[in-house]
Structure 1
Amino acid sequence: MDITIGQQIKKFRGSALTQQGLADKSGVSYETIRKLEQGRKGASVTTLKKLARALDVDLADLVGNRYGMPTEDPGAGVVAIREALTSVDDLIGDRPAEPPVSLTDARRTVDYAWGAYWNGRYETLASILPPGIAQLRATAHAAQNNEISTAHELLARMYWVTGCTLVHLGHADPAFVAIRSALSASERGNDPLLAATLRGSVAWQLLVQGRYEESHKVALRAAASVEPAGQVSEQQLSVYGSLVLQGATAAGRDQRVREALDTAAAAREVAARLPGDTKWYECNFGASQVVMQTVDINVSSERYPEAIAAAKDMPNRGAGLTQVSQARHLLDRAQALTRLRKYREAQDLLLTAERVGGRDWSRYQTLMKQIVQELREQERNPALAGLAERIGVRR
């Protein structure tokens, strides 16, 4: 039988805090904590992060979503990624583990990694990232003259996809090492939009850690650095709008709902200047992304009817989103429907999310597991039982 979030809260609370003491320290009501520990209530991400902070544990430990990827290949997996990120070859005089490659091959490696990421193929990433990091690092080190900027920009993008992957696997600390390494590499490049986008990724990682105010400030300061003036490129509009929207999401997670919705409305105005949904610098931005994040703002603030209403504005059923973004949006909608006791509709969306995101992606989605656990208290049918088994939710 899996350990529930309520059991985890009780374990970490131990004898140091009573339920009332945890309520006072976290700002979460005593009644909510009592029901969580009894397994009678689900919790929003915002509530769980408040509890994790009060219990002085990572959210990944509280909800049990820190994943490893055991494999027969000793050069693959989370441990191998961490070792690649923290190489000490320069300190011991060893040569890089991988030889440098041409910029064409380096770009091909980076693009392949991002393609795997956007398709939720985390197990593939666990195999290709360790050698890829070493290869791109060696390439940047060997670059000369006019190749230096490009080589370091490609290295930055490789570190970046590594950080994003580690976040999804619940490893926040090495993820942050990766994104700071990406920022450092980008400083030797010559692309201000890439540098700004990487600061947006820092903001996202801060948000995942529950550092909402810092996330908000980093995102909006990065947005200000590339704010459009006059006629600008589609790339600049897209990066700017994405950063503004990141700031809106952070404000929403911080329960500053009015500010979050106003900022999302500002992002919507930027999106209206674009010909449609875009994907520059590995960031989706456009009307679809604005709707997705508006739903997220409402769900994280437990405004479930408003979330369902906002989802109706999604253009073309989210066709402008990547597969994993579409699937993540379906999870937000499923959570809202679950809290509104529309259990069968929520179940249908979960099954659709699994199909859209793929089974590899679904196995690593804590939110999906939480919703399935809640629904199993209400629904008894083979489809839900089958989904629970496929994603590793057991009684």
Structure 2
Amino acid sequence: MGNTSIGVRIRELRGRVLTQQQLADRAGVSVDLVRKLEQGIRQTASIGSLQRIARALDVDISELLGRPAGIPSTDPDAGIVAVRRVLTSVDDLLDDGDPTPGEASTLVDARRIVEYAWGAYWSGRYALLSAVLAPTLHQLRATARAANEGERAAAAELLARGLWVTGCSLVHLGQHDAAFLAVRQALAAAQGGSDELLSATLRGSVAWQLLGRGRYEEARRLAVRTAEAIEPLGDAPPTHLSAFGSLVLTAATAAARDQRSAEAAHLVGQADAVARRIGHDRRDYETYFGPSQVAMQRVDVAVVTEDYTTALTVARRMPRTPSLPLASRARHLADRALAHARLGHQQQALDILLSAERMAPDWMSHQTMPRRIVSELLARERPSRLRGLAERLGIFG
């Protein structure tokens, strides 16, 4: 069903089990929408409507959207091109009435689509995200515009979270300029809300993006300054501690990449103290923090500073059942694989990479580190398992 339209896929999934009216009733959408989609009169609908239709059909929304390539497209209404058009829209400058083409939804539905997008992100499903982000942003912007005074702050924060996940996803899809634009727009949207910790965490995301651009000193300063601004005093709640600790870890990562080894170690120690104070792994503001995240970052700092023996030693501190999202677990495996490869442990490095691929194949296909490790291993020996992995990652020669 990969190359067929959404309407055809709905009709095929509905089959002989449900009538159009029954599907509409189950999904809580109009039968006119179902009919127009199946007839090809409409090529898509809001993400909220598609999610309800998918639930009524007992499938994931990805089955309605097909299998997007997750790379730039020439189609202005699809994929990355559509996301970039949303981020650079000038509709508000044109006197054409409502500048937001999306369908406004309830806050409950808006929150649901934001949670879905973040779930896809932390599962490393970047190809799926390239298809859903543009309509998601349209819907969230329409919802924010239509919100009454009592809902305005919540709608603004949901728009900020939607723009934020867009920026994070675009980094992994190689769209760094658009990613930076998205997270800056997220910060602007968050100003319409009232959550200081959300704004601080978004600044941490800006610092993370600066890391990817090699702007380590700016990233470190931004993360440190933001952490200092929200440093918890007294008996702070876990949410506050988590936001602060996450910023400190970002600063540690930046310091390590800027070859400030002593400062990086100090900052990781500071984050570790916060994690111990919390006592368990948490997810607050779409960000994970706790003992598992600190353990993962200790390994990353050691790898970045080329202390590979220490990296493998501190990797043993990872809790037996880490509460990390799929993408973070795969990244941790890649760090360990790089340490083994640099120490000449080719077999261990390959075994770990294959484990990461089995765990998160979509994540692997969008990352540069696994490709770099595989290229290094190929220069030494070429067992069949390594050649197969290289081919799947698009490495030839």
**TM > 0.5:** yes
Match for 2:301 among 290, 297, 304?
297
Separation in structure 1 between the aligned mates of residue 76 and residue 190 of structure 2, nearest angstrom: 30
- 1:92-112 CA distances to partner (integer Å, 9 max, x unpaired)? 123322121111111111111
Match for 2:94 among 92, 95, 100?
92
Match for residue 376 of structure 1? 378
Match for residue 309 of structure 1? 313
Match for residue 385 of structure 1? 387
Asked if structure 2 preserves the Cα contact closer than 8 Å seen for 1:203 and 1:218, the reply is yes
Matched, 1:361 2:363: yes
Matched, 1:211 2:215: yes
Match for residue 321 of structure 1? 324
Higher relative contact order (CA 8 A, sep 6+): 1
TM-aligned CA deviation for residue 73 of structure 1: 6.8
Match for residue 75 of structure 1? 77
Matched, 1:229 2:238: no
Separation in structure 2 between the aligned mates of residue 100 and residue 86 of structure 1, nearest angstrom: 20
Asked if structure 1 preserves the Cα contact closer than 8 Å seen for 2:74 and 2:81, the reply is no
Give the residue type in structure 2 aligned to 1:372: V
In structure 1, runs of 5+ residues without a counterpart are: 1-66
Runs of 4+ deviating beyond 6 Å: none
Separation in structure 2 between the aligned mates of residue 117 and residue 350 of structure 1, nearest angstrom: 20
Partner secondary structure for residue 295 of structure 2 = helix
Partner secondary structure for residue 93 of structure 1 = coil
Percent identical: 53
Separation in structure 1 between the aligned mates of residue 74 and residue 247 of structure 2, nearest angstrom: 40
TM-aligned CA deviation for residue 239 of structure 1: 0.6
Separation in structure 1 between the aligned mates of residue 366 and residue 383 of structure 2, nearest angstrom: 23
Match for residue 165 of structure 1? 169
Match for residue 27 of structure 1? none
Match for 2:347 among 344, 347, 355?
344
Asked if structure 2 preserves the Cα contact closer than 8 Å seen for 1:117 and 1:161, the reply is yes
Asked if structure 2 preserves the Cα contact closer than 8 Å seen for 1:122 and 1:360, the reply is yes
Matched, 1:257 2:264: no
Asked if structure 2 preserves the Cα contact closer than 8 Å seen for 1:324 and 1:356, the reply is no
Alignment of 1:133-144 (within 5 A): 133-144=137-148
TM-aligned CA deviation for residue 309 of structure 1: 1.3
In structure 2, runs of 5+ residues without a counterpart are: 1-68
Separation in structure 2 between the aligned mates of residue 103 and residue 73 of structure 1, nearest angstrom: 30
Asked if structure 1 preserves the Cα contact closer than 8 Å seen for 2:70 and 2:128, the reply is no
TM-aligned CA deviation for residue 68 of structure 1: 5.9
Asked if structure 1 preserves the Cα contact closer than 8 Å seen for 2:70 and 2:126, the reply is no
Asked if structure 1 preserves the Cα contact closer than 8 Å seen for 2:71 and 2:173, the reply is no
Separation in structure 2 between the aligned mates of residue 73 and residue 347 of structure 1, nearest angstrom: 38
Partner secondary structure for residue 202 of structure 1 = helix
Match for residue 243 of structure 2? 239
Q: Mean alpha-carbon deviation: is it higher for 382-391 or for 110-119?
A: 382-391
Partner secondary structure for residue 167 of structure 1 = helix
Asked if structure 1 preserves the Cα contact closer than 8 Å seen for 2:110 and 2:158, the reply is yes
Separation in structure 1 between the aligned mates of residue 290 and residue 121 of structure 2, nearest angstrom: 20
TM-aligned CA deviation for residue 170 of structure 1: 1.7
Separation in structure 2 between the aligned mates of residue 314 and residue 97 of structure 1, nearest angstrom: 47
Give the residue type in structure 2 aligned to 1:324: A
